[in-house]
């Protein structure tokens, strides 16, 4: 079952009363958020954003991958952001598997896996691909530690100016609260 028709209808309703065509290209509030793609997270709500306020970069786990850092560098270099937030979250799917598990699942089949009490398992039939074993999936075994690692990776990147503070948080999916990871924020302190 596809949601295509629902998305197109919703867009039609949105476009019918659209009045944001004059927003400036740079984010009005001058900051960026790197966060997870998890559907339970709504950065506009948990960070009090309106359209045009901030750059929001999303990927699996909210990890500081090469592509996420590329986006952050563009955000400040071309569009003037001055502060960055790394926001992971509790109960993240990236905590439920390892690189080896993901590689094995993809090698077995390309069908969607299932999650059981013992973790993810394959329910599909092959063929799969061994290419999944060549990728670092940036899984998470320690949530706070991963935030610190990501902030450190951003802070130490040669294209990131030391004047940009990088804050580290975990969003609690049960309460909606942002919980600061003090070690991450200390690592990301501007100098």
Residue with tokens 């077995």: 108
Burial class for 1, CB neighbours closer than 10 Å (0-12, 13-18, 19+): exposed
| Cα 31 from Cα 92, distance rounded (Å) | 24
- Residue 41 contacts residue 59 (beta carbons within 8 Å): no
Average pLDDT per 10 consecutive residues for the chain, totaling 191 residues: 91 95 96 98 97 98 98 98 98 95 96 91 92 97 98 98 98 98 98 93
**Which pLDDT value is given to residue 27?**
98
Q: Which tokens hold the place of 60?
A: 């699996």
Please name the fold of domain 25-95+139-191: Beta-carbonic Anhydrase; Chain A (3.40.1050)
Q: Which tokens hold the place of 74?
A: 């563009």
Start-end of CATH 3.40.1050.10 domains in the chain? 25-95+139-191
**Which pLDDT value is given to residue 1?**
66
| Cα 18 from Cα 29, distance rounded (Å) | 21
pTM for the whole structure: 0.94
């Amino acid at each position: 079952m596809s949601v295509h028709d629902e998305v197109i209808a919703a867009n039609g309703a949105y476009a019918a009363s659209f009045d944001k065509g004059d927003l400036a290209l740079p984010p009005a509030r001058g900051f960026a958020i790197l966060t997870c793609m998890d559907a339970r997270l709504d950065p506009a709500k948990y960070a009090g954003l309106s359209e045009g306020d901030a750059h929001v970069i999303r990927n699996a786990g909210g990890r500081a991958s090469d592509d996420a850092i590329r986006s952050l560098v563009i955000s400040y270099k071309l569009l003037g952001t001055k502060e960055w937030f790394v926001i992971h979250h509790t109960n993240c799917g990236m905590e439920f598997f390892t690189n080896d598990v993901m590689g094995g699942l993809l090698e077995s089949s390309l069908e969607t896996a299932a999650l059981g009490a013992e973790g993810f398992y394959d329910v599909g039939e092959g063929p799969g691909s061994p290419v999944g074993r060549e990728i670092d999936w940036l899984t998470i075994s320690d949530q706070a530690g991963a935030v610190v690692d990501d902030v450190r990776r951003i802070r130490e990147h040669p294209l990131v100016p030391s004047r940009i503070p990088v804050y580290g948080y975990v969003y609690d999916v049960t309460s909606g609260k942002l919980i600061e990871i003090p070690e991450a924020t200390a690592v990301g302190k501007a100098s």
